[in-house]
Each structure stands twice: as structure tokens, then as C-alpha cells.
Amino acid sequence: MKISSLNFKNNLRGSAVLSLIHGKEMILKNEVKDFLTKDFANQGYGETIIFEANESDDLLSAIQNNLGGGLFGSQIIIKIVHSEGRFPKALSETLEKIDLDNMNNIKIIIDSVSESISPNTKWIKDNKEFIQIVECTKLKPLDEKKWLRDKLNFLDKKDADRVARHLFELNSSNLVAHRNDIETLKILYSAEKDSVSLENSISSSIHTAYELEDCLLNLDEKRSIKILRQIKQNDPNSLALVIWVLDKLISTSLMAKKSASPKGYLENTKMWNSKIGSYLSFIKKMESNLLNLSKDIFEIEKTFKGIKRLDTWKEVERLIIRICTS
């Protein structure tokens, strides 16, 4: 059964034994995987085993060893990650050996980078009643606009249509940027419910946030502090947005640093190519301080939530100075 990534929630079958999620649109794939994992957990599947696509022998052994649930009747999720190249022949041959009809305590999720997988592939064709396939490829413009409107469901329909058009014009074909912008808007919306004011705030607030990020990447302390104070003066309710920018900067840098290929990690986030170089330079300069800065962000979030009695704006300013002078 082939399912569109746009309306997968209405069409996914909890009874399916194997779910194949393929394509290179990571935002869509993560949405489907998160939904499935939560759904399976609600069904009692509490353990997860992860295999790379080239670990076919270990995969087959794990299925055979866990089939039937063993003594304690455990229910497990097996995730198979295919992250590069063509769909492995050895994996296809292993999947042909698996009897999905008798697999009552195992759910399989395959996360494949393949843009196209034929439904006539033997292991799919022989088990089609037990398999669901979700295609997560680049969205067409109309589908992208629909995806945006669906994500803006916290707004009135009229406002959602207008904002979706605006975001599409800002970052068409970039779901990562759309997701970040929508998270920003949720923060703004929690502080400003008037739709006219909200629409007027979209461009300036998002662009101001990105401008602050750019200044921090360049370790421009004077400009960063100036932007922070302007934000505080113009919109005191936007402190959450500032904290989000800082957290995004530090967490993205830390995750990239920990990865085998920082540049590859940043490219996979669909960051603008022009910004990747700035991030790599920032990571190199901040390498030994990123973990401590991440801890600082966590403390600021506690202050913002009222757990610690400090002036959050001052703490944010101190953090910016620490970042720029490290």
C-alpha cells in the first residue's frame, strides 16, 4: 500500500508489519517515523533495535531470535537505516526470507534514502498486504503550500493562508527553513494574538532573529548586543524567540561537531550553502566551549521559566558576550 506523505496520518495502518519510508525529504520522513514510533509504543511495542542497511545477517538473526516474543512475550520495533547509495541487494534478499504473515510481535520500519522503490520488487510484491510504503520526496509547489497551511493550524484559516503564502515566498522548497519559521511564529503567536499585528511581525521578527544569528556566527559582539537591545525595546515579549535563536545556534553547532562529517550534517539540515561556511568557522573557533554554552542555554531556559530568579535579558546578554569573546 503506497501512501502520500501529505496525508499519512489518515492512511497509515497500525496493523501493517513493515513500513517503508523512502525519499530524501528529512522533515517529512521524521514526521512519519515519529508518528509510527508513538503509535507502535501505544500498542505495547516497548523495545527498539536499530540496524544499518548493510547488517543483513544480524537483522535476520534478530528477527529469528525475537519471533514469537520469547518467554516474556516482548514486542519490539526493528528500525533499518539505509542512508546512502542504492537499496542494498543483500537487504532485499534478507527481506525475501522473512515471513511477515507470522510476525505478530515485531514491527519493522525501513528508513531509506532511495527516491524511488518499485512496488514490483519481489519482497514487496510477495508481502504487499503486510507492507505500507510512504514516499517522502520533494513536494510540488501546491503540496508544499498545503503542508504549510496544515502546520499553521494554530492560526485562523484566513490568516494561515496568508502566512503560508508569505513563508512560501521566503523559502520555497526548504521545509527545514519552513519548520524553523513556524516554530518562531508559534512563539510570536503566544505573545501576540492579533492577526494583523502578527502578520506585520512575521518578516521583521524572523529576519531580526536570523540577523542576530549571523552576527553571533561572526562573533560580532557589538552588533549582537545592539540587536538584542533593539529587540528588547521594540518587543519585550520576544525573549522566547531570542532564546530559541541561541539554542538553535549552539545545539546545531554541537550536533555538527559530534558528527563524523560536520559539513555533511549541516548540508542534511538543508541550511543555506552560504551559511554552512560560517557555521563551520564558528564550530572551529568554539570547539572547546560548545558543551559549556549548551549548559548555559539550559540555565537561561530555567530562568525564563521562573525556576531561577534572575533577569533573563541580562543573562542572555552575558551569554552573547561569552560567545563572542570565547
Q: Supply the DSSP string of 214-233, one letter for each residue.
A: HHHHTT-HHHHHHHHHHHHH
Q: How far is CA 231 from CA 76, 235, 296, in A?
A: 49, 6, 21
Q: Which one-letter DSSP state was computed for residue 138? A: P
- Inform me whether the pLDDT recorded for 196 exceeds 50: no
Predicted confidence (pLDDT) at residue 191 exceeds the cutoff of 70 = no
Q: What is the pLDDT of residue 275?
A: 86
Instruction: Indicate whether 69 pLDDT > 90.
Output: no
Of 51-55, 67-71, 270-274, 314-318, the range with the lowest mean pLDDT is: 67-71
CA gap 150, 138 in Å, rounded: 17
Task: Report the chain's mean pLDDT, rounded to a whole number.
Answer: 85
pTM check: above 0.75: no
CATH topology of domain 2-135: Rossmann fold (3.40.50)
Which pLDDT tens digit goes with each residue over 21-49?
999 898 999 999 999 988 998 889 988 99
Tens of pLDDT along 198-252? 555 555 665 677 788 899 999 999 999 999 988 888 777 678 778 888 988 998 9
Question: CB–CB of 242/231 below 8 Å?
Answer: yes
CB-CB contact of 289 with 185 (8 Å): no
Percent of the chain residues topping a pLDDT of 70: 91
Torsion 189-190-191-195 (CA) sign: positive
Lowest mean pLDDT among 30-34, 88-92, 129-133, 175-179: 175-179
What is residue 205's predicted lDDT score, i.e. its pLDDT? 60
Is the pLDDT reported for residue 180 higher than 80?
Answer: no
Q: Which of 53, 57, 6, 55 is nearest to 28 (CA)?
A: 6
Cell of 318: 552575558
Beta strands in 113-162 (DSSP E): 131-135
Place of cell 521583521: 204
- The pLDDT of residue 200 is 55
Q: What distance in Å separates the CA atoms of residue 262 and residue 284, rounded to the nearest whole number?
A: 10
- Least Cα distance to 312 among 303, 302, 321, 299 occurs for 303
What pairs with residue 77 in β-bridges?
Answer: 48, 107
pLDDT at 271 over 90: no
Q: Where in the chain is the domain with CATH 3.40.50.300?
A: 2-135
What b/e readout covers 159-177, taking b as 16+ CB neighbours within 10 angstroms?
Answer: bbebbbeebbeebeebbbb
| Of 189, 226, 190, 204, nearest in space to 324 by CA | 226
